[in-house]
Chains A and B, each alone.
Chain A
Amino acid sequence: MRRPLVILVLGAILGLLTAAATYWSMTAHHRALLRQEQPELAWLRAEFKVAPEDFARISALHQAYLPQCAELCQRIASCEARIRTLLDQADHLTPEIEALLLEAAQTRVECQKNMLEHFFQVSRAMPPEQGRRYLAWVKEKTFRMDHEPGPPGEASHGHQGHH
């Protein structure tokens, strides 16, 4: 009984070690990406095969865009909150609600213009083929309409989905 047990235990240990080594080596690249200061940018660089010099430009564009994005985010949140408050109290369409809806629409246009501008700039900083791929991907993720549902488990949010 001793020999079969030894073989089985050694085989199981060897199997576990093989599993751990395979997992460790196959996930090494992604673990390194996640350890970066901005994993999303590190992922972008790896996914769209961005050269180091192009990546520096893309990072600069990204950093410059973030404050605009944050400001727009504030405006959208504030506008939506005010609309919700007014709608809770109103029983008919008031000029204030109308004005806020107009403001929300204008914010949305501005937001989409800014985003598109940023996406085009980033795509131009990439090699042409990768730039086209990036544009197709990011537009699909950010400009998806309600009647075009994304694949199940999609983490991104289409603009229309928030209204």
Chain B
Amino acid sequence: MLTWMRSAAEPPGKQLIDSMNHESSHGPNANLDSLLRDWRVDDPLPLGFNRAVWRRIAAQAVPAPVSPVAALRLRLDRWFARPAWSIGCALFLVSAGLLAGYWQATAQTARWEQLMASRYVHSVDPYAQAASAP
């Protein structure tokens, strides 16, 4: 953009520098402020200017090739930088632990109940005892 500005009929940059050089002993900030305030660009933008600018930005923004591991690290870093994500992840792991414990305990208590019921039946049933006798 500066290149384009300098190409205007009255280059504002030159005017600005001249002004700063001239007014340096009288307080350059006041003159600079007034000059910046009065600075108007009336020339129309060249055809396709916006598109050209975005194309240049896009060309420079093409990421350098990174390894999958580095990409994963970067992604994880970004995810876990968010507190909501970190808390959600921890809550998920705790919930998974709760469910796993509940499921295991339910299955184990059912097995134990069946075992104790069988032992009771075995203790009162002579035929069951005779069948299991060596």
Contacts and interface: CB of A to CB of B under 8 A. Distances in A.
A99 B19 CA distance: 135
A30 B113 contact: yes
Contact of B133 (A19, A40, A73): A73
Contacts of A141: 117, 121, 125
A75 B116 CA distance: 26
Given A7-B86, A33-B116, A115 B80 contact: no
B93 interface: yes
A154 B120 CA distance: 13
A33 B6 CA distance: 92
Contact of A4 (B77, B96, B108, B122): B77
Interface stretch (A88-96, A125-133, A155-163): A155-163
B90 A14 contact: yes
A138 interface: yes
Contacts of A41: 120
B28 interface: no
B124 A65 contact: yes
B130 interface: yes
Interface in B85-134: 86, 89-90, 92-94, 96-98, 100-102, 104-106, 108-109, 112-131, 133
Contacts of B123: 40, 62, 66, 69
Q: Is the interface of B mostly helix, strand, loop or mixed?
A: helix
Residue among B73, B100, B108, B116 facing the most chain A CB atoms (10 A cut-off): B116
Contacts of B104: 19, 23
Interface string A28-41: 01100110000111
Given A18-B101, A111-B127, A3 B77 contact: yes
Interface of A: 1, 3-4, 7-8, 10-12, 14-23, 26-27, 29-30, 33-34, 39-44, 47, 62, 65-66, 69-70, 72-73, 76-77, 80, 108, 111, 115, 118-119, 138, 141-142, 153, 155-157, 159, 161-162
Nearest to A36: B116
B97 A16 contact: yes
Contacts of A108: 127
A11 B77 contact: no
A43 B113 contact: yes
30 contacts: A7-B89, A7-B90, A11-B90, A11-B93, A14-B90, A15-B93, A15-B100, A17-B97, A18-B97, A18-B98, A19-B97, A26-B106, A26-B109, A27-B108, A34-B116, A39-B116, A39-B119, A43-B117, A76-B130, A77-B130, A108-B127, A115-B124, A115-B125, A115-B126, A142-B128, A156-B121, A156-B122, A156-B125, A156-B128, A162-B131
